[in-house]
C-alpha cells in the first residue's frame, strides 16, 4: 500500500529555535497534504491543508506565521514551527491523498513528536 | 455543535469477545464518508473501515464491521473476537463532500482488551 513518511520521528529543541518537519509520499503523488496536531490522549486537530504549488489553507486559530507550511512538490510538504515554545510540544501528523473524493484514501505518516524545552 | 461525538473515553473487553465503540455525527451535507482509525501507542494512524453516506449496506472488513444507522446519525464500530493487539485508541472521523478532503475526528475511545 501507499506509504507516507515523516522526518524526524522525534525532535527535542530549545525554546526559541525553529524546527522543520518533512512529510513525503513515497510511491504516489499527493496533490493535497494535511497537517494535524495531537496532544496526549486527545483528538487530532487539523492545522492546515497544503496544496502543491499554492499557499496553505490554515484552520481558524492556527497562526500561519508560526506554523509555516510549504508544499514544494507533489511528494513533499514541510511544516516549520518557528520560534518554538514549550506549549508547541505535541505530536504532529501529516496525511496525504492523491485525490479529494470521499473514497480516496488518506494515508497517514507515522507522526513527529516535538518536545520544546 | 461537535461534528463527531465519541461518548466512551475508555472501554474494556475480554479477549475473544465482541465490543462496540460508539460514534455519532452531525452534518447537513448529504454526501459524506465515515472512517474508523486505530492508533496504537506508537502513534501511527491505521485505517480500519469506511462507510459512505449512500452505501446501502454496512461496511465490513475482516473482524471489523460498521453499524451504520443513517437516520440516527450513528456509525458504531464493532470488533468481533477481540485480540490483545486490539488494545489501542480508536477514532471515528468524517469527511464531508463539500469539505475539500478535510477530516474531522472524534475525541477517541481507548480500548483495553483483557486476557
Higher local confidence (pLDDT), A103 or B25: B25
- For CA atoms A30, A103, B83, B87, the dihedral sign is positive
> What percent of chain A is predicted at pLDDT more than 70?
98
Residue A48 has pLDDT above 80, yes or no: yes
pLDDT band at A54 (very low <50, low <70, confident <90, very high): confident
pLDDT band at A1 (very low <50, low <70, confident <90, very high): low
Residue B106 has pLDDT above 70, yes or no: yes
Which residues of chain A does B2 touch, with a Cβ-Cβ cutoff of 8 Å?
none
User: Per the CB < 8 Å rule, is B91 touching A43?
Assistant: yes
Buried b (16+ CB within 10 A) or exposed e, A78-108: bbebeebeeebbbbbbbbbbbebebeebbbb
| Smallest CA–CA distance from B88 into chain A, residue | A41
What is the gyration radius of the CA atoms in chain A, in angstroms? Answer: 13
Name the residue facing B97 among A32, A102, A106 (closest C-beta).
Answer: A102
Higher local confidence (pLDDT), A103 or A79: A79
CA angle B29, B6, A112 (to 5 degrees): 95
* pLDDT at residue B14 in the model: 98
Please name the residues in contact with A107: beta carbons below 8 A apart, sequence gap of 6 or more.
A1, A2, A3, A4, A25, A95, A96, A97
* Burial class of residue A27, CB neighbours in 10 A (0-12, 13-18, 19+): exposed
* pLDDT at residue A53 in the model: 81
Q: Tell me: the pLDDT tens digits for B36-95?
A: 999 999 999 999 999 999 999 999 999 999 999 999 999 999 999 999 999 999 999 999
**Which of B100, B84, B110 has its CA nearest to residue B17?**
B84
Residue B23 has pLDDT above 80, yes or no: yes
Residue A37 has pLDDT above 90, yes or no: yes
The whole-number average pLDDT for the span B105-112 is 97
Residue A55 has pLDDT above 90, yes or no: no
Query: How close, in Å, is residue A83 to chain B by CA atoms?
Result: 25
CA distance A23 to A108: 10
Please name the residues in contact with A55: beta carbons below 8 A apart, sequence gap of 6 or more.
none
**Which of A2, A4, A7, A5 has its CA nearest to residue A21?**
A7
A2 touching chain B per CB within 8 A: no
User: Which residue numbers of B have CB closer than 8 Å to A's CBs?
Assistant: 31-33, 37, 42-45, 47, 50, 52, 89, 91, 95, 97, 100-108, 110
Contact between B108 and B91 under an 8 Å Cβ cutoff? The reply is yes
Residue B1 has pLDDT above 80, yes or no: no
Cis amide bond preceding B81, omega within 30:
no
Residue A18 has pLDDT above 90, yes or no: yes
State residue B88 phi and psi, 5-degree precision: 180, 180
Residue A99 has pLDDT above 90, yes or no: no
CA distance A61 to B65: 36
The whole-number average pLDDT for the span A6-34 is 94
Q: Please tell me the total number of residues recorded for chain B in this structure.
A: 115
Amino acid at each position: 500500500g501507499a506509504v507516507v513518511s515523516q522526518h524526524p520521528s522525534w525532535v527535542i529543541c530549545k525554546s526559541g529555535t525553529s524546527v522543520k518537519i518533512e512529510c513525503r509520499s513515497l510511491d504516489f503523488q499527493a496533490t493535497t497534504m494535511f497537517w494535524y496536531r495531537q496532544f496526549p490522549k486527545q483528538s487530532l486537530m487539523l492545522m492546515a491543508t497544503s496544496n502543491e504549488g499554492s499557499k496553505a489553507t490554515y484552520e481558524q486559530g492556527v497562526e500561519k506565521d508560526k506554523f509555516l507550511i510549504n508544499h514544494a512538490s507533489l511528494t513533499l510538504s514541510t511544516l516549520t514551527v518557528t520560534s518554538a515554545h514549550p506549549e508547541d510540544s505535541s505530536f504532529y501528523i501529516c496525511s496525504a491523498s492523491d485525490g479529494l473524493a470521499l473514497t480516496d484514501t488518506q494515508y497517514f505518516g507515522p507522526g513527529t513528536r516535538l518536545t520544546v524545552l | 455543535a461537535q461534528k463527531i461525538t465519541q461518548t466512551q473515553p475508555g472501554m474494556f473487553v475480554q479477549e475473544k469477545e465482541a465490543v462496540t465503540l460508539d460514534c455519532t455525527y452531525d452534518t447537513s451535507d448529504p454526501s459524506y464518508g465515515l472512517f474508523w482509525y486505530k492508533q496504537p501507542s506508537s502513534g501511527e494512524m491505521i485505517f480500519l473501515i469506511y462507510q459512505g453516506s449512500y452505501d446501502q449496506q454496512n461496511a465490513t472488513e475482516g473482524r471489523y464491521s460498521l453499524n451504520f444507522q443513517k437516520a440516527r446519525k450513528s456509525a458504531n464500530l464493532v470488533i468481533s473476537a477481540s485480540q490483545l493487539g486490539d488494545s489501542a485508541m480508536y477514532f471515528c472521523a468524517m469527511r464531508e463532500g463539500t469539505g475539500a478532503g478535510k477530516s474531522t475526528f472524534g475525541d477517541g475511545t481507548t480500548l483495553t482488551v483483557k486476557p
